[in-house]
Amino acid sequence: MLTKKHQEAYDSFYESTHENEFLDQKTEILIGLSASIAMSCKPCTNYYLKQAKKANITKGEISEVLAKVMAVSAGQKRLQMKDVLTEYKINLESY
């Protein structure tokens, strides 16, 4: 899909996100896992779960990440509904 130039640029950028200056390995993996889940990227989620296992990240830590992604997602959907109701002047009390 990408030109060779664009693919090389992407690959370089992606790899640079694993060479953290400020995050420890565990934090980087947990952030990657949460982003992967939030973006519904199955291959990415699989990758980060395998990295989590190698880094001895626990089931409990993974569960906390999943719960946070679920909470943010639910909050976003709540706000989305609020925006629709406001924008289209819908009063649910009339239902």
Q: What are the pLDDT digits (tens) for 19-77?
A: 889 999 999 999 999 999 999 999 999 999 999 999 999 999 999 999 999 999 999 99
Rounded CA separation 88/86 (Å): 6
Domains of the chain as residue ranges with CATH:
23-94 (1.20.1290.10)
pLDDT over 90 (residue 1) = no
Q: Where are the alpha helices (DSSP H) in 1-95?
A: 4-16, 25-38, 42-54, 59-87
- Cα separation, 51 vs 46, in Å, equals 9
Q: What is the pTM of this model?
A: 0.85
Instruction: Please give the pLDDT value at position 15.
Output: 92
